[in-house]
Structures are given as structure tokens and as C-alpha cells.
Structure 1
Amino acid sequence: MDLKYEVKTNKTFDQAINSLKNSLSRVGFGVLWELNFKDKLKEKGLDLAHNFKIFEVCNPKKAKEVLETYLEVGYFLPCKVVVYEKEDSIFIGMLKPTMLMDMIGKADLTNIAKEVEEELKKAIDMAAN
């Protein structure tokens, strides 16, 4: 079982980021926070050879539903989606919410995790194309 879902895109790093933000909005997710590791490490005097950006994203209605069911699932929130560069290719991906829910053994959250995962997959696929 693969813990992550990712796709390769022919877009540039910046194009992939812009497309991802747009597609996330289209499926009901907002970007709460973003971090460019390459830039952050450069501020600290370190060089990272590849671009790597993390987005913390959230669908407020789904988050509320999950937190009301099992508050400790907040350890996994918000969802993270990444755009990164490796070997001259750009990838967009995430950790699968279904796998994270399996880790805590809360079967009553499986359906919500599946919904969130499908919506995020759709956003990632749209961003990549």
C-alpha cells in the first residue's frame, strides 16, 4: 500500500503551484499556509538543490465533521499537498487521508477520509494537466 498519491506534470514549478491553488479552490479547499523549503533553507544559509513547496489545505466543513467525530484527528490536519522538483521533473502529491485514518483505526472516519482523498486527487490531477 502506498502512503502517498502523486502525479508528474509537464508544467513548470511555478505553473504547477498556480494550477494547484486554482484547482484546490474549485473542489472546495482553501490554502491556509504555504512553505517553500528551498527559500526557507536559503534564509538559514543552506542550499537545497530542488524546489519543494508544502501547502496546508482545508475544507472547513470536512474538518469540522472530522474534529467533531474524533478530536485527536487534528494531529493530521490540515491536509498537506506538495509540489516538488526532482530530476528535472515536477511532481504534485499528498499523503492519502485514508491511509492516515487507517493508522488511527477509526473506521467511522473512513467515508470522510475517502471523500477528502477523492477531492484532493481531483485537484491534483486537474493541476497536473
Structure 2
Amino acid sequence: MNFDYALVTKKSLEQAVDDVKEALKELKFGTLWELDVPSKLKEKGVDFKGKARILEVCNPHKAKAVLEKDMNVIYFLPCKVVVYEDQGEVRLGMVRPTVFMEMLESEGLQDFAREVEETIKTALHKAQ
């Protein structure tokens, strides 16, 4: 099983980021934070020519519910969604929550992770 799920889009990176955020919002996931990787690296004195954004996303009700089941899930929150250019293509992707939850042995976490994963996959497809 891959640790990630990714799609290729014909959109510009900027448009893809906007569309991912909008699709997530429609599915009740908010963007808590957005990191422009090249800008942050440049701020630290490192020149990176690539284009990449990391979105930290969350549904607060789902986060509360899963944290009440197992506080160790806090290590995996919020979910990461990425938009980046690689070999001339813009890619949309995420780290799959089901992969993370396999590390914990709490009852019901895989069901929760599958639900969140499917929701984020839906958002990625809508934004594609």
C-alpha cells in the first residue's frame, strides 16, 4: 500500500491550490495553514526553484471524535494535502490517513481513517 494518494491536473499550481481549498471547504474541511515551500526556504536563505504548497487541513468535529478515541492520533493531525510541480506536471496529493492509523492498535480508527481518506480523495478529484 502506498503511503500517498496523488493525481495529476492540467491546472496551474495556483488554480489547483484554490480549487483544492474550495473542494475541501464544500466537504467541511478547513485549511488551517498553507506553506509556500519555495518562499519559506528563501526566507531561510535557501534557493529552491520548485513550486510546492503544503496545506494542513482539518474537520474539527472529526478531529475531536478521533482524539476522544485515542490521543495518540494527535501525532497525525492535521491532515496534509500537497500541491506541487514535478517533471512539468502539477500534482495534487495527500498522505493517506489509513497508513498512519495502521500504526495504532485502537478499535475503530481504521474506519475513521477510511472515511477521512475518502473525503479528501473526493476533494482532490473535484479540484482536478
Unaligned segments of structure 2, at least 5 residues: none
* Residue-by-residue CA offset, 1:48-76 (whole Å, 9 max, x unaligned): 12111110000111101100000111000
CA distance in 1 between partners of 2:6 and 2:80 (Å): 12
- Where does residue 121 of structure 1 map in the other structure? 121
- Where does residue 83 of structure 1 map in the other structure? 83
TM-score (norm 2): 0.96
Unaligned segments of structure 1, at least 5 residues: none
CA distance in 2 between partners of 1:5 and 1:114 (Å): 13
- Where does residue 15 of structure 1 map in the other structure? 15
SS in 2 for 1:66: helix
The offset of 1:42, in angstroms, is 1.1
Q: Of Structure 1 and Structure 2, which has the larger fraction of its residues in helix?
A: 1
Instruction: State whether structure 2 residue 96 is matched by structure 1 residue 96.
Output: yes
- Where does residue 51 of structure 1 map in the other structure? 51
Aligned residues: 128
Structure 1 segment 17-32 matched on structure 2, within 5 A:
17-32=17-32
* Residue-by-residue CA offset, 1:12-44 (whole Å, 9 max, x unaligned): 010101101100001110000111110011112
Identity %: 47
- After TM superposition, the runs of 4+ consecutive aligned structure 1 residues lying more than 3 A away are none
CA distance in 2 between partners of 1:84 and 1:22 (Å): 17
The CA RMSD over aligned residues, in Å, is 0.9
